[in-house]
Structure 1
């Protein structure tokens, strides 16, 4: 039997199943981006949503239904009613939910007045990343102090010149892990580094990032636009990292 919230019409994300489409959920928009496509259906909108228990789900919306999701705004809570569910798969899964949500022609998004500033971080330890115990198909949240920041390089990727920036993240226990950011993420990191030239100590939070292995070395990369980067996020103190990296 599905577990429900205090409102009997609302179901928690853990309990939605593909056997029907008439579900109603209350969710917060953690991230959204446009996924470009040359196929006939065109671009699609992608969302990462969370309910009040912190369970997250990936939601996709085809171009033809864009009008249905105008109210799905970053950081806001919304009700979503009527949607389909299919098995989640692939090498870039932003959540561990077994299903992916799809917006339909009769999907309905309405306002919800809940005020909850929780961003539902699920931080992964450097030890877990390095010891190979994680399934690299699932994207992760990771935070650390960037060190050994290199210069931006421009390299060809699928016939297109693309920027990349390599550096190292260190945690509060002085574990270190290689990182490589691509495109606008490289620009963002380098800008943060230049701004911090007087005091070069800052923290970097990467959300929905990809564990990758390159030339035998484990590294963290951004998973195209499904990742996010935040410099000096609230709730974390760079001093905790400086105690071990001096």
Structure 2
């Protein structure tokens, strides 16, 4: 019987077996233009790791590892060389996983019902303490929202929409949604009123720097926007924002892990 390892206990250059949730996945291409796939896998402790599949096994793991499902995965190869994107990691883990022919996959029941966001403090972003090589999760109150407009990104014309996200200390971060995230967010904004306190979660977004300014950007793919998600942090954030001088509520009846609106 296989012995299953926590993600934070994995060691490189050996075969291991894990029990994880397929947190996110995206289709991509290898250097020769063949189809490939990247995954973000998460265990019940909330630790995440980047896993990759080459084109030889693309169709198999696309079928066997659907997003949001829990899987028992045996004989995974753990590597300390993030050769795919060495300066643009997909998960905050020192190693990565390669899925190949000997890898086995079996469905298992959910091991954790709550969400797996790992929120970064605004101050870490503003002071540039955060490592820009890794994606981050943020939650805050939506402030200013700009207009949907075309822009050029990586020599490709895309739509974008700028907006501000504010925390309970009134610190603001300038954010930009690109690609399909932009028009989808623009549709959601039509339901907002000036009196609304709209809580937003940015999941798997990137910290970038432009003309000396700090930006947080999402370009689709793995990045998502959640509007007023049904998680405990939503009510804590709203309470902090509306009542900055009052202690946080102790009881919370929110349902962790679901959301009222998600843009992905």
Question: How would you bin the TM-score normalised by the shorter chain?
Answer: 0.7 to 0.9
The match for 2:223 among 227, 234, 237 is 227
| Residue 52 (structure 1) aligned with residue 44 (structure 2) | yes
The match for 2:173 among 171, 174, 177 is 177
d(CA) in 2 for partners of 1:145 and 1:169? Answer: 6
d(CA) in 2 for partners of 1:158 and 1:52? Answer: 36
Q: Deviations over 1:16-59 (max 9, x none)?
A: 223223x110001111121245x425122211111122211011
The equivalent of 1:4 in structure 2 is none
| Residue 72 (structure 1) aligned with residue 65 (structure 2) | yes
| Residue 83 (structure 1) aligned with residue 82 (structure 2) | no
TM-aligned CA deviation for residue 242 of structure 1? 4.7
The match for 1:105 among 101, 108, 116 is 101
Change (3 A) 1:18 1:177: same
The equivalent of 1:3 in structure 2 is none
Return 5+ residue gaps in structure 1 as ranges: 1-6
d(CA) in 2 for partners of 1:230 and 1:45? Answer: 24
Work out whether residues 17 and 75 of structure 2, in 8 Å CA contact, stay in contact via their aligned partners in 1. yes
Work out whether residues 59 and 101 of structure 1, in 8 Å CA contact, stay in contact via their aligned partners in 2. yes
The match for 1:137 among 133, 139, 159 is 133
The equivalent of 2:247 in structure 1 is none
Work out whether residues 85 and 102 of structure 1, in 8 Å CA contact, stay in contact via their aligned partners in 2. yes
d(CA) in 2 for partners of 1:16 and 1:105? Answer: 20
The equivalent of 2:251 in structure 1 is none
d(CA) in 1 for partners of 2:238 and 2:224? Answer: 23
The match for 1:116 among 104, 112, 115 is 112
Counterpart secondary structure, 1:14: helix
Farther-moved stretch of structure 1 (28-37 vs 146-155): 28-37
Work out whether residues 68 and 108 of structure 1, in 8 Å CA contact, stay in contact via their aligned partners in 2. no
Q: Deviations over 1:123-179 (max 9, x none)?
A: 001111111212111111101112110001102334432111111000122111110
d(CA) in 2 for partners of 1:8 and 1:131? Answer: 45
Farther-moved stretch of structure 1 (113-122 vs 236-245): 236-245
With structure 1 as the length reference, what TM-score do the two structures score? 0.87
Give the number of equivalent residue pairs.
237
1:203-222 residue pairs with structure 2 within 5 A?
203-222=199-218
Counterpart secondary structure, 2:59: helix
TM-aligned CA deviation for residue 191 of structure 1? 1.4
Q: Deviations over 1:2-21 (max 9, x none)?
A: xxxxx861111122223223
